[in-house]
Amino acid sequence: MSLKIIVKGKVKGKIMKTLNPINFLGAVDKKTGIIHDDKHDKFQKSIKGVILVFPYGIGSSVGAYTIYSLKKNGSAPLAMICTKADLSVASGCALANIPMVIVSNLEFDSLNDGNEIELDTEAGKIL
């Protein structure tokens, strides 16, 4: 599996996958990690402690602060896996030290909601 590494790290956890992009400022509660946008398919679910698999971040540039706040509040995902890197997610993860990688569409399709995986950027793989 070929990964483009944006922020390094090694984590093990459960995938939470959505096909919908995420507007972090508008859709995620920065204290709890709960998605509060009723139009999002993960409405009322929390992104805390999961490996968040989603296409990319959208909307406000302040979404980067939401990601940083999630980390400071202990409600951040363990890692993020996207198909495209937007600058808010990339910079938010860089500052918060949340491992983040970009994968191809094919690899994205092979990651299933609820599966346990291990992401290791040093070894360059997802197991």
Partner 1 sequence: MELTKEEESAIKGEKGETLQLAYRILVATGEATNAEKLVPIQWAHVSGVNYNTIGDAGQEFLSNLSKDAKVKVKTTVNPMGYDIDNVSKYGLDEEFIKKQENIKNSYEKMGVTPSFTCIPYEIFDLPQENTQVSFAETNAAIFVNSISHLKTNKESAFSALASAITGKSPYSDLRMDQEQPNLTIRMKVENPNELTFGMLGFFAGKIADTSVSISGVNKLDQRSCKSLCGGMGTSGICGKFLLEEGGKDSEKVDFDRKEMQNIYDELNTTDSGDLITLGSPQLGLGELQDLTSSLKGKSFKKRCMVFCPRSIQNQARKLGLVQELEGAGCEILSDCCTCLTPLINKKDVDGVTTNSIKGAYYLKNSNGVNVNLKPLNQIIEDETK
C-alpha–C-alpha distance, residues 89 and 74, integer Å:
17
Residues 29-48 that bind partner 1 (CB under 8 A): 30-31, 36-37, 39
Q: Does 60 participate in catalysis according to the annotation?
A: yes
Q: Pull the structure tokens for residue 56.
A: 């990319």
Supply φ then ψ for residue 88, to 5 degrees. -70, -45
Four-point Cα dihedral 14, 3, 21, 66, nearest 10: 70
Q: Which among 44-52, 66-74, 104-112, 119-127 is the span making contact with partner 1, rule CB under 8 A?
A: 66-74
Asked if residue 80 lies in contact with residue 54, where contact means CB atoms within 8 angstroms, the answer is yes
Q: Which of 2, 46, 60, 69 is catalytic?
A: 60
Of positions 65, 77, 119, 126, contacts partner 1 by CB under 8 A: 65
State the nearest-atom distance from the C-beta of 51 to partner 1, in Å.
18
- The CA distance from 13 to 78, in Å, is 7
In the complex, least distance from residue 76 CB atom to partner 1, rounded to whole angstroms: 11
Size of the residue set binding partner 1 (CB under 8 A): 42
The crossing angle, in degrees rounded to 10, of helices 63-72 and 87-96 is 30
Binding site for partner 1 (CB under 8 A): 4-7, 21, 23, 25-27, 30-31, 36-37, 39, 56-66, 68-69, 71-73, 84-88, 90-95, 102
Q: What residues are annotated to the active site?
A: 60
